[in-house]
Chains A and B, each alone.
Chain A
Amino acid sequence: MAGEGEDLWQSLSRSGEAVATEEDYEHGYSREVRQDLRRYLTFRCGGELYGLSIHELAEITRPMSTTPVPRTANFVLGIGNVRGTVIPIVDLAMRLRLVAVGPPASMRVLIVNHGDELYGLVVDGVHDVVPIPPEEFEPPPGALGGARAGFIAALARQGSEILISLDLAVVLDPRDFVQANAGLRGRQ
């Protein structure tokens, strides 16, 4: 099902819970509709597999031109314009302190909805949409430590890989967007 990036959004809108292919039945698909099955968009960033609930997702676009905003953290690429709405664009790899490895052609911007506002997340490439039942998630191991631990909401196994579910509230924490020492105001 992992196809071209452009087709993905269409396939997203087509693949409802109740739709099952013949192939699915061959593999022992039982028609059991679970209400708590949430679907996740999986994408690559810095060589790792990440996931975001599609409820948090508004749109997937190709990289757009951005206007840099001074005095912001290095992961803030700037502001972009999505059909008249100005939104902050974040380099997710930089935000997660990873190194972007994807070929530029596969790069996409995930437009996510967080706190009623839109943000753009630049990722190395989108992968798939998968349903993951809540019980398959495990809490982030405390020993993981490292600077990135806070960004991880939960982990889930996807075949041989580990999928990292992101905590958008941490990734998009406004306190991190502005440079710490930006514009020391005289009287503040």
Chain B
Amino acid sequence: MSRGNTEFVPEAQEVVEEFSRRLLELEASQRSGVEEPEALNAAFRAIHSLKGLAALFAAGPIATVSHSLENALDALRLGRVPLNAATLDVLFEAVETFATLLTAYEHETEPPSVERLLARIEALVGLVRTERTATELPGIDESVLSVLTEYEEHRLRENVRLGRTLFGVHASFDLLAIDVGIEGLKARLKVFGEVITYLPSADASADDRIDLDILLGSNASLAEVSSALDGDGVSVHPLVRETAPSRFAAAAVMETPVFGDPDHERGGEEAEAGGSHDVSLKSISRTVRVDLGRLDQLMNLIGEIGVVQATLNEGVNRLRQRGAAPDLARELGGELRTLTRKVALLQAGVLDVRMVPLGQVFDKLARVIRKLGREAGKEIRLGISGEETELDKLIVEELSDPLMHMIRNCIDHGIESRAERVAAGKPAVGRIELRAFQRGSRVVLEVEDDGRGIDLRQIRESALRRGLQREEDLRDMTPEQIIELVFVPGFTTRMTPGALSGRGVGMDVVKTNISRLSGIIDVNTAVGRGTTFSITLPVTLAIIQALVIETAGQQFCIPLNSVIESVMVASQELQTVDGAEVITLHGKTLPLCHLARLFELPRAAASDGSRIYVIVVGVAQHRVGLVVDDLLGQRDVVIKSIGSALRGVPGIAGATELGGGRTVLLLDVAALVEEAVGREIAGSAAAMSSGVAHGG
């Protein structure tokens, strides 16, 4: 049994993910040499709230680690501890530890020991910068410094050290519109530099106004800043001894800067109390967590309503044909149309709830890349785009493992060592790009590296060495077919297993997993320039549009997104090439494949032989014409599993219910095309596949 308070784990997971995201930002900024105090603050806040959460739910080790981590982050914020790769290593290790601690908490198992991590974090804090030379703060009045918190003072010094000019910005807001006013001003200030502090000003001009003194560090000149900000109750002045002091000194009278970030105020001691006094019992987030199973149930129900609706429709049509009660029939017809529209909206709504942004997976992968890159001693820069692209939660979950395998491959086989890269005239730092974008009703995910690319010769040699292919077959294969060999189980180009990949499992698993999601994987490679894997996936698996067909008296559904077109062909247009049936379509030769023969269905003898229906289906660059007896129309169908025992049936992806209690099989087009194409191009390939059982 898992714990009763199911809210804790997902909420804590979210916080940890946020923390990890901020760490990645920090790492990027640390590498580029630009300071990112906001990211550090956000990381600090995340750990602060994790500590509060953990204390609330009595998750002891998590609270201990986050408490210790909070201190370390605070020291980082204050510049007492330098932010470097070693520091980040410890912080990233904490992310991994949180994950295992949360799993242990959820399953109520013994949590792993955190002593080592705690020691490492403590060591960080102990690493207080000794040579900390206090930057002179010329021209800044003691009275200003006296009201700043330690953190603010640190930021002030940092700004001075970076050679920025300090400005005092005086702003006056209407009491009623202060929220909007401050937000607007913040946004405008951010453009110029860093806001060091907000202090309420003592000399408010009127009772219904609030005045603020803001300390801004910026690279811009006074003229630039004031021309952009002046007016509307805002005035900018350089912060020198002659001006500001009185104001800031006055501000010191007021106890707490109400509008500042409360975290700025936090000292080391009050950390204990901090967890409880901010916690309101009311939850801030307006979101609800839902078990995916419940959504599936809803989806099933909608599918069943659809079936009822179809039956009703038939009834109304019959009523109309009989001509009895025409008014009633018309009225029912109208209502039914409304119902259809509403059901479609309901369906879209539920589907929408299942959608999550891919950013979740990308964040995990960024962590993996960082870790693996360091382990392999390769420096890798990661580019991410399209993280806001949304996919069905189920697909996103199932994607993590295949993507991880692909990334491992990129790092292990793709990206060269630094020396190799420099010798080849490439940038010393390797690059991996993760991209996602929507294309029609599908989502495309790309993993691109700028490594050495896939060498066809090497694949050929490895395939020969491992006895996966015969030499004469290899000679006839096109480059695409050779690249496809990397997806064959047991294939590897490594002589000895590498630390990361190269054990000969991986890419075949990737392909199987992606196919299970009705996805297609394509490889594009150029030797010396890099490799791009693109995965094309349906946006959702729960409901798809399908073409209902009939052959040999049995009905089947074909997912519409793999259907390119369907044509009716006179039988005299059939030709044979090398014993295989083909037709010419749009000037190209299209291999045909009889579904009934493929499935060995008993053929009804007296089928009208003069015309056949050809459904052109495609996977990647392959096109095949499926020959069927009849097209019955297009339907939205809910895909149902046919159970683990039948999951291994090649060419069948699942089942669905059509009206009248009929259960119809859904074809796995990718598998059928692969089968047809495989047979067509390499007759001897069967020898290869013999002995490979189709596991579930």
- Which of B300, B601, B644, B662 meets A67, CB within 8 Å? B662
Mark interface residues in A11-27 (1 if CB within 8 Å of B CB, else 0): 00000000000000000
Q: B458 at the A/B interface (Cβ < 8 Å)?
A: no
Which chain A residue has the least Cβ–Cβ distance from B300?
Answer: A84
Which chain B residue has the least Cβ–Cβ distance from A68?
Answer: B554
| A186 and B681 in contact, given A67-B662, A81-B661 (Cβ under 8 angstroms) | yes
Q: A34 at the A/B interface (Cβ < 8 Å)?
A: no
A69 to B665 Cα, complex, angstroms: 8
Mark interface residues in B62-98 (1 if CB within 8 Å of A CB, else 0): 0000000000000000000000000000000000000
A115 to B696 Cα, complex, angstroms: 14
Mark interface residues in B480-522 (1 if CB within 8 Å of A CB, else 0): 0000110111000000000000000000000000000000000
| A177 and B652 in contact, given A79-B663, A186-B689, A187-B689 (Cβ under 8 angstroms) | no
A183 to B488 Cα, complex, angstroms: 17
Q: In the bound complex, do residue B663 and residue A67 qualify as a contact, i.e. CB atoms below 8 Å apart?
A: yes
Q: B605 at the A/B interface (Cβ < 8 Å)?
A: no
Size of the chain B interface, CB-CB below 8 angstroms: 50
Mark interface residues in A57-90 (1 if CB within 8 Å of B CB, else 0): 0000000010111111000100111001111100
Q: B688 at the A/B interface (Cβ < 8 Å)?
A: yes
| B646-668, CB < 8 A from A | 646-652, 655, 657, 661-665
Q: B694 at the A/B interface (Cβ < 8 Å)?
A: yes
Give chain B residues whose Cβ lies under 8 Å from the Cβ of A117: 643-645
Q: Name the distance in Å between A154's Cβ and chain B's nearest Cβ.
A: 24
| A188 and B692 in contact, given A70-B652, A86-B642, A88-B645 (Cβ under 8 angstroms) | yes
Give chain B residues whose Cβ lies under 8 Å from the Cβ of A99: none
Q: B675 at the A/B interface (Cβ < 8 Å)?
A: yes
| A72 and B662 in contact, given A174-B696, A187-B685 (Cβ under 8 angstroms) | no
Q: In the bound complex, do residue A185 and residue B663 qualify as a contact, i.e. CB atoms below 8 Å apart?
A: no
Q: B641 at the A/B interface (Cβ < 8 Å)?
A: yes
Q: In the bound complex, do residue A183 and residue B650 qualify as a contact, i.e. CB atoms below 8 Å apart?
A: yes
Q: In the bound complex, do residue A177 and residue B675 qualify as a contact, i.e. CB atoms below 8 Å apart?
A: no
- Which of B488, B644, B661, B675 meets A115, CB within 8 Å? B644
A119 to B642 Cα, complex, angstroms: 10
Q: In the bound complex, do residue A81 and residue B600 qualify as a contact, i.e. CB atoms below 8 Å apart?
A: no
Q: Name the distance in Å between B409's Cβ and chain A's nearest Cβ.
A: 18
A86 to B648 Cα, complex, angstroms: 16
Q: Name the distance in Å between A174's Cβ and chain B's nearest Cβ.
A: 4
Q: Name the distance in Å between B360's Cβ and chain A's nearest Cβ.
A: 28
| A185 and B652 in contact, given A65-B661, A86-B663, A88-B642 (Cβ under 8 angstroms) | no
Mark interface residues in B672-696 (1 if CB within 8 Å of A CB, else 0): 0011011101100110111011111
Chain A positions within 8 Å of B, measured between CB atoms, are: 65, 67-72, 76, 79-81, 84-88, 115, 117-119, 172, 174-175, 177-178, 180, 182-188
* A-B pairs with beta carbons under 8 Å apart, 15 shown: A71-B651, A79-B646, A79-B663, A85-B640, A86-B641, A88-B643, A117-B644, A178-B646, A178-B650, A182-B649, A182-B694, A185-B678, A186-B686, A187-B485, A187-B688
Known: A186-B681, A187-B487. 12 other contacts (CB 8 A): A69-B665, A71-B599, A71-B600, A84-B304, A86-B643, A119-B643, A178-B648, A183-B694, A184-B679, A185-B671, A186-B685, A187-B688
